[in-house]
Structure formats: structure tokens, C-alpha cells
């Protein structure tokens, strides 16, 4: 066996102490881990800053609100004449086209009125024929009276000539003068009778219009028009709603029967905060979604901006000049037109909640200048 040798002055604890000394920092040590963590933290902060800035820029160029609803015109359908409902040709929520029949009334009473008006026209035409004959008789009477007046004038002139030659006495001349005045009076009377006959026959106006026949013809046209009103037609394309009429019901003129909603002309009323309207202008593009179809996007255009806030036109507007004033952010309605090709199936319904986003025409540079005004 070999003996282990030890140098003088060297103890056995020295190797253990050497092994216990700390090693210098290496790339794989704690210092490297700290640097990596710091780099990752800085990169994460930079990414968050970039994403936050992008989100802020997007929010400045895409003005959004959830206080918006779909609206459309509501056409109240009523009948212009009274009567008994014979047929109702539509149901609730049914789509109808312009000119489609909605309700039919019993037409018998109005057919009778048309027949009476037609008979009135025939009677007026016959009466006018007889009155025309009477007018012609009055014209002949005028001609006869004129001839007698001319003869009386001629006799008077001859009598005056004979009286100057003392052929006839004064008494006979007076009779001739009286006969002449009577003939003139009869002529005037005949002319007045002719004018009256013309007025009765409707011939006094220009063109020989027959006033009485025209009056009866107007009554006939009115009766036919009232008969046509017994069929209620759709004034435009749309969907039937609030139907409140059934066959057999007696209705009055102007009584609401149902409502017609033309969804093809629907629009959006978006109540934006007053601070969001700075860059909203008519004509800007709008993208919106509805709660009923969350996976589908629709498009439209800003149509107009209301002339005042919603509170200003409410039934009881606020009186800010009285009491303690607390500032409340006001909302101003913005009308948004829906593109026709955006909803060809007419899925949108009146009253649906909408989330519209107005794409304002602002560049990134303009938005950043708002963030740093001195740039």
C-alpha cells in the first residue's frame, strides 16, 4: 500500500474551503435570468403601449354607441267610406306589395248609389232635350215679336206721313203709336223669355255647355269613386301589423284597421354623446350590428344630425336656470340611413337595439396631433 503524503503546513480543511467558495457569474446564472426577465417586461410593456395606442386611435376614428334603435314609418290603414267588412285578405306580419287588396266592404249599397246617379244623368239629358226645345220655341217667339215691332214701326211712320197731309185723323195716329209701343214691349218680353229658357237649358254659357248634365255626371263620378273605396289597397310595400278588423264588423270612415310598416325605408336613430359629435358629418359611412344577429354586420350612412338634444325636445325639458345645477352629458340623435343592399331580406325590425360605429374621416396624424397638441 502506498502512504498518503502531506506537505508541511497544509491542513486537510483547505480542499473543503476551496470547494465552498462561490463561483463567478456566468451567462446561465441568476444575472442572465434577471436580464431576460427585464427584456421580456420591456417588450410586454412596448406591446401593451402599441396596442393601447392602436386601440385609442381606433376609438377616435370609429365613433360607437350602444344607445341606438331602428325606426321606420308606420302607415295607418283606414277606409274612406263606412260599411260592413266582407273580407279581410291579409294576416298579421304578412308582406304585401303596393296596390294589393287588404280589406273589402259590402258593395251593394254603393252599387245602388251608382245606379241612381246613372239614372239621374239620363233624366238630366232628357230634361235638357226638352228644355232645348223650349229654348228654340222662345227663340221663335222673339223672331215673331221682332217682326211685329218692325211692322208697328213701319205703320207709325206711314201714319205720321198721312197725318201731315191730313189724310187720317189724330186719333188713328195715336192708335198707331200705341201699337208700336206695345210691339216693342212684347219684343223685350220675348227676349227676356228666351234668355231664361237658355239659362234653364244650360245654353247661356260659352260653348253651349249643359250645366245640369255635367252636374249629374259629377254625382255619378262621385258615386263610382265611393264604390271603389270599398276595396282598401296597400299604399306601399311593407309588412302588416296591428290588424284590428275582422269580417262582419261595421266600420266608420277613417277608423284605423291595421298598420303597414315599410321596412325597406327603415333608418337608425343613434343617440351619441355631445362630445362624440365633433367629427361626425352627414355622408360618413356607418357599420352596425344588432343583438338579434351578432355575427352579421350591416352598413349605412349618416343622414343628418338633429337640431337639438333629446332633452330639449322632451315633453318636460329641464330648467337648468333653477335650483342647483348638475352638469349632465347630453345626447343628440343622429339619423343613419341603412343601405338597401345591406339588408335585402329585411331582417331588421323596428325597435331593435343597434350598435352603430361611424367611420369618421380622420387620419392617424390628425388623431396624434390631438394627443400631442404642440406637434
250-267 confidence digits (pLDDT tens): 999 999 999 999 998 899
First to last CA, the chain: 89
Query: Does residue 306 or residue 126 have the better pLDDT?
Result: 306
Do 289 and 343 touch, CB atoms closer than 8 A? no
Kindly report whether the global pTM for this prediction surpasses the value 0.75: no
Helix ranges, 165-300 (H): 170-201, 211-228
pLDDT 10s digits, 139-165: 888 888 888 888 888 888 888 888 888
Residue 282 has pLDDT above 90, yes or no: yes
Task: Pick 61-72+263-371's CATH classification: 2.40.30.170, 3.30.420.10, 3.90.660.10, 3.20.20.140.
Answer: 2.40.30.170
Going by the DSSP 8-state scheme, the letter that residue 353 receives in this structure is B
Render pLDDT for 293-344 as a digit per residue (tens, 0 to 9): 988 999 999 999 999 888 888 877 777 776 677 788 889 999 999 998 888 8
Strands in 331-338's sheet, in edge-to-edge order, are 62-64, 354-359, 285-290, 293-305, 331-338, 267-273, 68-71
pLDDT for position 240: 95
Task: HSE, CB side, 13 Å, CA atoms: give it for residue 115.
Answer: 6
The pLDDT of residue 256: 94
Q: Using pLDDT thresholds of 50, 70 and 90, give the confidence band for residue 203.
A: low
From CA 78, how far away is CA 256, in angstroms rounded?
5
- Quick check: 168 and 159 in contact, CB under 8 A? yes
CATH number of the domain located at residue range(s) 75-107+228-261 in this protein? 2.40.50.100
3-class state of residue 70 by DSSP: strand
How many Å is the maximal CA-CA distance in the chain? 214
What is the pLDDT, as a whole number, of residue 58? 66
pLDDT of residue 110: 94
Distance between CA atoms of residues 87 and 259, nearest Å: 17
Q: What is the residue-averaged pLDDT of the chain?
A: 82
Is residue 41 scored above 90 in pLDDT?
Answer: no
313/322 Cα distance (integer angstroms)? 19
Contact between 230 and 219 under an 8 Å Cβ cutoff? The reply is no
3-state helix, strand, coil in the chain (%, to 5): 45, 20, 35
Q: What number of other Cβ atoms are within 10 A of residue 220's Cβ?
A: 19
Task: Give counts: helices (H), strands (E), the chain.
Answer: 6, 15
Amino acid at each position: 500500500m502506498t502512504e498518503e503524503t502531506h506537505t508541511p503546513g497544509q491542513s486537510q480543511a483547505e480542499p473543503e474551503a476551496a470547494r465552498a467558495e462561490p463561483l463567478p457569474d456566468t451567462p446561465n446564472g441568476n444575472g442572465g435570468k434577471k436580464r431576460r426577465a427585464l427584456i421580456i417586461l420591456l417588450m410586454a410593456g412596448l406591446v401593451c403601449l402599441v396596442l393601447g395606442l392602436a386601440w385609442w386611435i381606433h376609438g377616435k376614428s370609429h365613433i360607437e354607441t350602444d344607445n341606438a334603435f331602428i325606426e321606420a314609418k308606420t302607415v295607418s290603414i283606414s277606409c274612406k267610406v263606412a260599411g260592413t267588412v266582407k273580407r279581410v285578405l291579409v294576416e298579421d306580419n304578412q308582406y304585401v306589395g303596393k296596390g294589393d287588396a287588404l280589406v273589402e266592404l259590402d258593395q251593394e249599397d254603393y252599387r245602388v248609389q251608382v245606379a241612381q246617379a246613372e239614372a239621374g244623368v239620363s233624366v238630366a239629358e232628357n230634361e235638357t232635350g226638352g228644355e232645348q226645345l223650349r229654348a228654340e220655341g222662345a227663340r221663335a217667339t222673339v223672331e215673331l215679336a221682332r217682326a211685329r215691332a218692325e211692322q208697328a214701326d213701319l205703320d207709325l211712320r206711314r201714319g205720321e206721313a198721312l197725318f201731315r197731309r191730313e189724310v187720317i185723323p189724330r186719333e188713328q195716329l195715336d192708335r198707331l203709336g200705341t201699337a208700336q209701343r206695345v210691339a216693342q214691349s212684347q219684343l223685350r218680353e220675348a227676349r227676356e223669355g228666351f234668355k231664361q229658357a237658355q239659362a234653364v237649358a244650360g245654353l247661356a254659357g260659352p260653348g253651349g255647355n249643359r250645366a245640369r248634365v255635367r252636374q249629374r255626371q259629377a254625382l255619378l263620378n262621385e258615386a263610382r269613386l265611393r264604390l271603389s273605396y270599398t276595396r282598401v289597397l296597400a299604399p306601399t310595400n311593407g309588412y302588416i301589423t296591428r290588424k284590428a278588423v275582422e269580417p262582419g264588423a261595421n266600420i266608420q270612415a277613417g277608423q284605423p284597421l291595421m298598420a303597414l310598416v315599410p321596412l325597406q325605408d327603415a333608418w337608425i336613430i343613434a343617440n351619441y354623446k355631445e362630445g362624440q359629435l365633433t367629427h361626425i358629418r352627414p355622408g360618413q359611412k356607418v357599420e352596425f350590428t344588432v343583438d338579434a344577429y351578432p355575427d352579421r354586420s350591416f352598413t349605412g350612412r349618416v343622414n343628418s344630425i338633429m337640431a337639438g338634444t333629446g332633452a330639449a325636445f322632451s315633453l318636460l325639458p329641464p330648467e337648468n336656470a333653477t335650483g342647483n345645477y348638475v352638469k349632465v352629458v347630453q345626447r343628440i340623435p343622429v339619423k343613419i340611413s341603412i343601405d338597401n343592399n345591406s339588408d335585402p331580406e329585411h331582417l331588421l325590425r323596428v325597435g331593435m337595439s343597434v350598435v352603430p360605429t361611424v367611420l369618421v374621416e380622420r387620419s392617424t396624424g390628425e388623431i396624434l396631433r390631438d394627443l400631442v397638441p404642440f406637434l
